[in-house]
Amino acid sequence: MAKPKKISTLNQSIWPYLSPRHWPTWFGVGIAWLLAHLPWKLQRFLGKQVGRLIHKVSARRRNICLTNLQLC
């Protein structure tokens, strides 16, 4: 009995992933790439600001988290 032939993904075309359906993903990858190349101090500053914004905006999720921590 012969083994099934392995199919490599290296031979597949990238064209299907360039369609408009995938543009938000490519945009997100591009933003992540740009942020990763910022200086460390700027990354820390932006992270702190985003954390503060999320802390203020998501009071419901914060309460759920605090309740879970108290139960632990």
Residue 44 token pair: 């820390």
Q: What is the pLDDT of residue 1?
A: 64
* Secondary structure of residue 37 in the 3-state scheme: coil
The Cα–Cα gap between 39 and 47 comes to 12
Q: Report pTM.
A: 0.59
Residue 24 token pair: 């938000």
pLDDT band at 3 (very low <50, low <70, confident <90, very high): confident
Residue 5 has pLDDT above 90, yes or no: no
Q: What is the pLDDT of residues 21-72, one digit of tens each?
A: 999 999 999 999 999 999 999 999 999 999 999 989 999 999 999 999 999 9
